[in-house]
Structure 1
Amino acid sequence: MGIQITPSILTADFADLGAELARIPSSDWIHVDVMDNHFVPNLTFGPRTIEALSNATSRPIDAHLMITDADRNAAAYVEAGAASVTFHVEAATAPVRLAREIRSAGARASMALRPATPVDPYEDLLPELDMVLIMTVEPGFGGQKFLDLCLPKIRRARELMDKHGVETWLQVDGGVSLETIERCAEAGADVFVAGSAVFDAEDPDAMIAALREKATGAADRA
């Protein structure tokens, strides 16, 4: 599968998202942070934004649901065109059922964990998931500083995936930059969400290439 770079539009220009997507043609996915002002203290996008973006680009949409009622609402994001839907395990009543529903609807199912949520209690869920997202900042706002304390959890998640022989992707989100991506890749992550690092760059697509090069080199050394 290799290294994948997934820019988050949370720090893009909301007034012209079509033009912003045109600035990142080499991105593997488009990451959309869905916030409900309940699970996190911010309010952003809904299914209509997912639908508009999926119609505006051929790249797959990665919908990260930071919402309280993921069990009831996740299906709407698949219907809107998301190719991958991530729910927070802290907000899911029945995570196995939810993952299966997302998969049966035709999307990849991903489970996210906040920085303080350990991964070991969810080891048995790994075969039900296409991706695990380790948050490396507290979810809710872009531009936060990377939390190094999450690196052992990234390593542990990779150990558990290797133990079970699953092909689950390991994504990190929060403070990913040229200064931090190598540490994440060395710890075992292979999918990287980057917001400010990409959209604040003079050349966002060149930044994607630089991030990919750094992560690939670190993964090869590991």
Structure 2
Amino acid sequence: MKNYVSASVLSADMLELKKEIKKLEISGIDMLHFDVMDGSFVDNITFGLPVLQQVRKATDMKLDVHLMINDPLRYASAFADYGADMISFHIESSSDTLATIRKIKEKGVKASVALKPATSAEEVFEFLPYLDMVLVMTVEPGFGGQDFLHGTLDKISVLRKKINELGLDIDIEVDGGINAETSVLVKRAGANVLVSGSYLFGAADMAAAADIIREDLPC
């Protein structure tokens, strides 16, 4: 499968967000990863609908929205209307999983289910036929800049094996601690959409950094 890089806006300079987005575009970044946290599902509060609306006006980049909120079913339509191209929500949330997937799909947006590090791959198996992507958190959700959790690699492998067995065309996204070294590990396990924040935004050459984590593994 083709590899993609999704840049986490959580690591951007928020006072210069429009300039940061232009930098992403110039650097050939594939998607912008937009983390929504409600201060309840996770112990942090980040961005909401008004910010997403302005980001949508500022760019034609694919907007990869990750809802870390308690009731994604309630808000899925609004995030779709405000410009999301892909919406990931957590299987651990209070919303009915299948109903939330259907609500997202009804809006013409790609649907993804996200898994915390402690949640097993098997939890999402029954929903795979309805999904465009599965997001595996490779750190605990809530804050950027955390160290990669190597224990999540087996989960990625199990998911990719099951997806292949079912003959489905589903991306596996990983989010947390992705850099030049860990990108090799997650791609080897079966991931192909790599979210990166501090590694990309802290790079002297963002385009080169993105190419490194996007490149195919040697045969």
Q: TM-score range by the shorter chain?
A: over 0.9
Q: Distance in 2 between matches of 1:104 and 1:77?
A: 13
Q: Distance in 1 between matches of 2:153 and 2:129?
A: 22
**Cα RMSD (Å):** 1.0
Which residue of structure 1 lines up, in the alignment, with residue 61 of structure 2? 59
Whichever residue aligns with residue 199 of structure 1, its letter is F
Which residue of structure 2 lines up, in the alignment, with residue 100 of structure 1? 102
Say whether the 8 Å CA contact 2:200–2:209 is kept in structure 1: yes
1:32-59: CA deviations, max 9, x gaps? Answer: 0001111111110001111111111111
Q: Distance in 2 between matches of 1:92 and 1:191?
A: 26
Whichever residue aligns with residue 138 of structure 1, its letter is E
Whichever residue aligns with residue 4 of structure 2, its letter is Q
Q: Distance in 1 between matches of 2:72 and 2:152?
A: 24
- Structure 1 segments, 4+ long, off by >6 Å, are none
Q: CA deviation at 1:121?
A: 2.6
Whichever residue aligns with residue 21 of structure 2, its letter is L
**Residue 202 of structure 1 aligns to a residue in which SS?**
coil
Whichever residue aligns with residue 69 of structure 2, its letter is I
Which residue of structure 2 lines up, in the alignment, with residue 22 of structure 1? 22
Aligned residues: 217
Which residue of structure 1 lines up, in the alignment, with residue 92 of structure 2? 90
Instruction: Say if 1:157 and 1:92 are closer, same or farther in 2 by CA, change over 3 A.
Output: farther
1:92-148: CA deviations, max 9, x gaps? Answer: 431111101101101100000000000113211001111000000000000000000
Q: CA deviation at 1:68?
A: 0.8
Equivalent of residue 68 in structure 1, options 67, 70, 75: 70
Which residue of structure 1 lines up, in the alignment, with residue 199 of structure 2? 197
Q: TM-score, normalised by structure 1?
A: 0.95
Identity of aligned residues (%): 41
Report whether the alignment pairs 1:165 with 2:167: yes
Unaligned runs of 5+ in 1: none
Whichever residue aligns with residue 198 of structure 1, its letter is L
Unaligned runs of 5+ in 2: none
Q: CA deviation at 1:202?
A: 1.5
Q: Distance in 2 between matches of 1:38 and 1:205?
A: 35
Q: Distance in 1 between matches of 2:142 and 2:162?
A: 27
Say whether the 8 Å CA contact 2:49–2:82 is kept in structure 1: yes
Q: Distance in 2 between matches of 1:184 and 1:16?
A: 31
Q: TM-score, normalised by structure 2?
A: 0.96
Whichever residue aligns with residue 107 of structure 1, its letter is V
Q: CA deviation at 1:21?
A: 1.1
Q: Distance in 1 between matches of 2:115 and 2:171?
A: 14
More displaced 10-residue stretch of structure 1: 89-98 or 132-141: 89-98
Say whether the 8 Å CA contact 2:173–2:193 is kept in structure 1: yes
